[in-house]
Each structure stands twice: as C-alpha cells, then as structure tokens.
Amino acid sequence: MIPQTQRYQPSLEDVSALAKRRGFVFQSSEIYGGAGGVWDYGPLGTELKRNVKQAWWHEIVETRDDVVPFDAAILMNPQTWVASGHAATFHDKMVDCRVCKHRFRADHLPSLEKCPDCGSKGSLTEPRDFNLMLKTFLGPAEDTASQAWLRPETAQGIFVNFKNVAQAARRKPPFGIAQIGKAFRNEITPGNFTFRTREFEQAELEFFIPPDGTDDQWYRRWVEVRMAWYRRYLVEDRVRFRELAKEELAHYAKGLTDVEYHFPWGWGELESIANRGTYDLTAHIKESGKDLSFFDEANKAKYVPIVVEASAGVDRTALALLIDAYDKQRYVDQTGKEAERVVLRFHRQIAPVKVAVFALARNKPELVERARSIEHDLRRVMRTQYDEGNIGQLYRRQDEVGTPWCVTIDYQTLDDGSVTLRDRDSMEQTRLAADQVKAMLLERLAG
C-alpha cells in the first residue's frame, strides 16, 4: 500500500498539459478541431493504458483458475439492449439553457432555477430524457430493421454467451468470465479530460454463483480483491470504497460498492462492484426464449446463476494513476543549487518505460555503440528508451514520464565495464557492472 503522503496535488491543467506535451493523450482528430469527448493515446499513453489492462488481466484472469477470458464484439443483436433495459431506460435527463445554449445533465446541477454557466434565471428547459446509446446501422439499408447500437458496456456480451462459455470451457459456477473492451456512451456533458468520454474502455468481470447462499461472501471477496489491487497502485488517502445503502440500490441488486478516486474536482467513480442477483440472465432468458440456466449434474437440478459484477473503467483508472503519480519536488542538485523537478511516481508495473539508457556524449561512437548494445539487450525483456546528451536534462525528461530507472554509459564504462544506475524516486546513483543490470532490474520489476 502506498502510504498517505504530502505528494503534490496537481491541477487537471497540470496533468493534461503534461499529457499532451509528453505524448500521453491527444485530442481526437485535433487538426479538424477535435471530436467532442473523444481522445487518442500517444506512445506513452498507449503503454500506460496497456499496463493498466495488463495489471487487471494478470490479477483477474492469469493468476486465477476460476475466471476465463472473453472477447465479445462491439456490435450485437439490438434485442440485447431491449432485454438489458438499455433501449428503454438508459437515459440521462438533459436540460438546455435557452440563453447561452449550453447543455447540462440535470443530476449534475445544484438547482434548475438558473444556468450555472451564464447565470440567467428561468432559462433552463424542463429535463428531457436522452438515450446515451450511440446508434449505427448494420448493412447498406439505413432503416429501422438494420439499426444497431454501439455497446454502452461490455457486460452484455458476456451474459448472452454465458452458456456457450460454460459448455466450451467446461466450467460450472462458481466461475467468472472477464473481458476488456471498448464501450460507447453519447454522454450529454463529456469532460474532466478523459474522465467522462464518449468512447472508452471497460474491464469487466461477471462472476456466476450457484444459489447456495454464498453470493454475499463472493461479493465481499471480490470487493477485497479489487481494494487490494487499487491500494497497490494508488496513494492510500486518495482512494475510497463506498458501499451503497440498500435504499440507493437498483431493485434487483443485493449489494454495491463504488471505488472512488479523489480527482482534482472531487471524488469520481473508477469501478463499481455489485451483486446483481439473477437479473441479467433472467432478462435474456425472457427476451430470447433460450434457456440460459445451468444444469448441475451432481444435484440433477437446474438454476439461473447469481452474478457478481466488477466493472472498471480503464481510461479513468489510467487518468487517476497519472494524477496520482504527479509530484513536484524541490531538491539540491549536484552543483549544490536548489532545483525543482516534476516526477511521475508511477508504480514500476504501471510506468510506460521501465528503463532509459543514455550515452553520456553524442559524438563518441564507442560510447554510443556500447549504450545502444546495452539498451538493445534490455529491450528484449522490458520497455526501454535510448537517449544521449546532457545528463541532467535526460534525467529530468525521464522523471517527467515516470521512468523508474536510468542507466548511464560513460568513459569509465569503456575502461572497467561499469555503468551508473539512477533511481527515479531517491535520485540515488550507484555504480555497478553493466552485465549485472538486466538481472537486477528484472528482479526489481518482479518484486
């Protein structure tokens, strides 16, 4: 667990400026003025997001024998969304200001009396339902028969395939199906950078449980597993787990815990873990007329499994990790002068680049060649970056993207084969034999 710290609290502008400057996140199709609520990930952002997904996948799929992986298509038969309730009820209430023309989500407004942007009194329209699903068409005819939706969550792809997967993977409840994939919501007011977007990725687990009274235990167990995961990567006092009171739950839900992060604008949801009862499978059984119940050979009995769901947002988690890692530190440099650096204190598993390898001088072919060969060797086992030139600048550049280690090759390397290993957080530099670097870094990465 990362202890409570006095770590610098960046503004959203600090983080979005760094994200753009260093190639974590760009506005989608920026040269055309962008697309509202849609973002692209640059080279470092792509690595960051991949590491978030890998950390989730490792915990939920790779290290367990009771969860199997899945990858459903984004497009589904539209009946899916009728059964799940999304076609009829996946609405947010929307209000418009007649004066400044801005649009708001009614539940985000403190009152409907005046516009929060232009301040006009009585200018807001009555709240109207707005379906958040994005429409598209399958095939060449744009009529209602071919209309489809871009999925607003990945979960339904798992539910409709429950029986296929249980049979093919020869599983019986309790077992889970996990997937990571894109979801789309036509949010009324996207914003707060990548927190609320119209295209995003979800990491979802649906865990199927027999009706033997263990569902609450499983729900609590999954909350624990997810808590431990978030606590490994985020500062302790910036993440909280909020269990909703029974009155706050949907009628079918038996328990729900939201994982929230303290963003610069306040607490925001990263994940929701819920005991959903038999609601989802029952809805699909009704709508499709297909029997999705499970036949328990041992007891010769059929049942509809209870589902515990853990539904996380990959982009929101990546944003939380970026904000969480952002630190500003004053220190005394090697010449004795006071200096300041921005350093992303990513957990080593999350850091986009694990090690940067530098040649101390640009114009010395022996140094460059040696550094390149060390970097090449490391590249086979971890993400690396090669650079050369002014060492102070090189360190600062790597600090700013959260690279945990730097290896510097200098003239002494040519004499005695030793290199300098520099640690991002302590800024400590140690001299060691070049041929020990790989084993040492691999050990630290695994630890």
Q: Which residues bind ligand ATP (CB under 6 A)?
A: 153, 185, 187, 196-197, 200, 202, 269-272, 311-313, 315-316
Give the whole-angstrom CA distance, residue 342 versus residue 150: 40
**CA dist., res. 75 & res. 194, Å (int):** 23
Cβ 91 to ligand ATP shortest distance, Å: 12
Least CB distance to ligand ATP at residue 257 (A): 11
Q: How far is the CB of 203 from ligand ATP (least distance, A)?
A: 9
Instruction: Give whichever of 206 and 315 is closer to ligand ATP, judged by the CB atom.
Output: 315
The CB-nearest residue to ligand ATP is: 313
Instruction: Report the residue number, 162 or 193, with the smaller CB distance to ligand ATP.
Output: 193
260-296 as b/e, with b when 16 or more CB fall inside 10 Å?
bbbbeeeebebbbbbbbbbbbbebbbeeeeeebbbee
Q: Which is nearer to ligand ATP, 123 or 202 (CB)?
A: 202
Answer whether 114's CB lies under 8 Å from 99's CB: no
Least distance from ligand ATP to the Cβ atom of residue 300, Å: 37
Q: How far is the CB of 241 from ligand ATP (least distance, A)?
A: 13
Secondary-structure breakdown of the chain: helix, strand, coil percentages, each rounded to the nearest 5: 35, 30, 35
Answer left, alpha or beta for residue 29, where phi above 0 means left and psi between -120 and 50 means alpha.
left
Closer to ligand ATP by CB, 197 or 385: give it. Answer: 197
Residue (316 or 370) nearer to ligand ATP, CB:
316
Q: How far is CA 214 from the centre of its chain?
A: 29
Residue for token pair 């550094």 = 371
**Per-residue DSSP letter, 108:** G
Least distance to ligand ATP from the beta carbon of 31, Å? Answer: 24
Q: Which residue has the tokens 């102070």?
A: 392
Q: Considering beta carbons, is residue 240 or 364 the nearer one to ligand ATP?
A: 240
DSSP 124: B
The amino acid at 389: G
**Nearest residue (CB) to ligand ATP, 105 versus 383:** 105
- Minimum distance of ligand ATP from residue 236's CB (angstroms): 20
